[in-house]
Amino acid sequence: MSTWKPDPTFYPSARMASSAPKETLAYVATFDPTRQMPDALDVVDIERGSSTYGTVAGRVPMPNTGDELHHFGWNACSSCLCPNAPHPHSERRYLVVPGLRSSRIHIIDTKPDPHQPKIVRVLEPDEVAHRAGYTRPHTVHCGPEGIYVVSLANAEGEAPGGIFLMDHETFDIRGQWEIDRGPQQLAYDGWWHLGFDTVVTSEWGLPATFENGLVPEVLLGGNYGHRLHFWDLHSRKHKQVIDFGAENQLVFELRPAHDPTRPYGFVNSVISLKDLSASIWTWYRDGDQWAARKIIEIPAEPADPDLLPPMLKSFGAVPPLVTDIALSLDDRFLYVSCWGTGDLRQYDVSNPDAPKLTGNIRIGGIVSRATHPKAGGRKLNGGPQMVEVSRDGSRVYFTNSLYGVIDEQFYPDGIDGWMVKLDAAPDGGLTFDDSFFVEWPKTHRPHQIRLEGGDASSDSYCYP
């Protein structure tokens, strides 16, 4: 008698997922900053010992130009094993790849040949706006009920941004997720504590304040996002807001604990208006409410104004610009990308209230332009940006581009795209994989990474 079996890449818990087979491929969203050539989903060989290790082994060009591929995700993941999931026999097969600038969504099949995926459906911007009521899709997460897409603007490109749901198999858009949004207007990331029936969302800004670059007047006025929002997952109603204060601008990436019995998580504030520092905050349960506190502050570094871009000359310092974070599956190590200074930091957050710096490497950076062992001593631009961690926690990958027009504001000579790999020691510490340094042609820059079979930020779990 034949039986249906769950996808073998699904695991009930992060603890079990950490023993999954090693990934052999990475899918990387790349874009043309001039918007003259199609963006692409590139396939990078990350199987050590392979004859093409550390090279782009496949490419899926998009059918249009000007998409600005950004954050993407799988159609299904380990959350399909949750008790309330209506589709436990789904398959992690398709990548849902939005264009942040175009609002076009591409569905890419990674089978039968994972090295040569194929586009099987394209949802055009008009369809997205009409069916979802939102545009500028930014973040894709697979959840028990379907695919959640956090978008930065409504159908007219204005406030409010929010979340819409897609069917995980047909990819039809079901519609707007929120029933009662309360005071929420801005959006950026969205994730959840499945064990506590809670959704968390963060804030960036509206298209008018980022599509042509960050607007200094908006930034210095404290008018980018600086709040967290907490929602009831099932009633889809806004429950609470936590304001970090207008000085803490750009509250971005949400990384809840992978253990569903532990109601806390981490989020980054990109820049402080007080001193250009960046910070990491933890949110946590405090009685019947949520609370947050700052646990890490990374200071700006003094610098010669002649070496700084126009946007920073008057400050005489390089801000760390923490633009991404990642949490290992055992909830032990938090990785922090400092896109401005060029640092990739590793903190032991076993005790979230007392983080300890356990590793740091430097590559690129606005002033430092630190090199890589395989770069022949060349000065590198860009810095650690989108970071991804393997399921066993021993490999860390990252790329160096943030967003086309914003890249130019902080790196006026442009960014030459690269991707690197670090080896992480079991008890802390980071070293370069000297043989892994992937470079892109000037026509494209790499952004987000997804690892074959799942990674530390692709799945959520319902069992400890």
Cα–Cα nearest to 361, from 348, 380, 347, 342: 342
Q: Nearest-5° angle of CA 320, CA 247, CA 370?
A: 5
The string of pLDDT tens digits covering residues 11-59 is: 999 999 999 999 999 999 999 999 999 999 999 999 999 999 999 999 9
d(CA 83, CA 463): 10
Q: What percent of the chain clears pLDDT 90, i.e. is strictly above it?
A: 97
For residue 359, which amino acid is it? G
Concatenated DSSP letters for 376-401? TT----S-S-SEEE-TTSSEEEEE--
Does residue 79 sit within a domain?
A: yes
d(CA 370, CA 399): 14
Domain containing 84 equals 14-451
Does residue 368 sit within a domain?
A: yes
At residue 1, does pLDDT exceed 60?
A: no
Neighbour count for residue 113 (Cβ, 10 Å): 11
pLDDT of residue 318: 98
Token pair of 20, please?
């999954």
Question: Could you tell me which residues come within 8 angstroms of residue 3 by beta carbon, excluding any fewer than 6 positions away?
Answer: none
d(CA 322, CA 366): 13
Judged by DSSP in three states, 316 sits in coil
Does residue 220 sit within a domain?
A: yes
Judged by DSSP in three states, 105 sits in strand
Torsion of CA 67, 105, 444, 188, to 10 degrees: 80
pLDDT of residue 3: 59
pLDDT band for 86, please (50, 70, 90 cuts): confident
Does residue 241 sit within a domain?
A: yes
Token pair of 313, please?
């000359």
In this structure, of 29-33, 80-84, 122-126, the range with the lowest mean pLDDT score is 80-84
At residue 171, does pLDDT exceed 50?
A: yes
At residue 5, does pLDDT exceed 90?
A: no
Q: Nearest-5° angle of CA 403, CA 406, CA 407?
A: 75
The string of pLDDT tens digits covering residues 220-230 is: 999 999 999 99
Give the mean pLDDT of 356-377: 98
Number of domains in the chain: 1
pLDDT of residue 84: 87
Question: Could you tell me which residues come within 8 angstroms of residue 405 by beta carbon, excluding any fewer than 6 positions away?
Answer: 33, 210, 211, 212, 213
318 to each of 179, 403, 410, how far by Cα in Å?
42, 19, 10
Q: Residue 355: which CATH number?
A: 2.130.10.10
Does residue 457 sit within a domain?
A: no
- Predicted model pTM: 0.98
Average pLDDT value over all residues in the chain = 97
Neighbour count for residue 100 (Cβ, 10 Å): 26
Q: Nearest-5° angle of CA 385, CA 26, CA 345?
A: 30
Question: Could you tell me which residues come within 8 angstroms of residue 112 by beta carbon, excluding any fewer than 6 positions away?
Answer: none
Give the mean pLDDT of 171-184: 98
Does residue 6 sit within a domain?
A: no
d(CA 287, CA 435): 50
Neighbour count for residue 116 (Cβ, 10 Å): 12
- Sheet of 387-389: strand order equals 387-389, 395-399, 418-424, 430-439
Cα–Cα nearest to 429, from 324, 335, 349, 359: 359
Token pair of 266, please?
């981490």
The string of pLDDT tens digits covering residues 404-417 is: 999 999 999 999 99
CB 268 within 8 A of CB 320: no
The string of pLDDT tens digits covering residues 304-313 is: 999 999 999 9
Provide Rg for the chain, Cα atoms.
20
Q: Where are the beta strands (DSSP E) in 339-390?
A: 343-348, 356-362, 387-389
Q: Where are the beta strands (DSSP E) in 79-189?
A: 94-98, 105-109, 118-123, 134-143, 146-154, 162-166, 173-176
Question: Could you tell me which residues come within 8 angstroms of residue 121 by beta carbon, excluding any fewer than 6 positions away?
Answer: 106, 107, 171
Does residue 7 sit within a domain?
A: no
Q: How many residues does the chain have?
A: 464
Neighbour count for residue 172 (Cβ, 10 Å): 14
Does residue 377 sit within a domain?
A: yes
The string of pLDDT tens digits covering residues 207-250 is: 999 999 999 999 999 999 999 999 999 999 999 999 999 999 99
Q: Which helix (H) or strand (E) holds 148?
A: strand 146-154
pLDDT of residue 6: 84
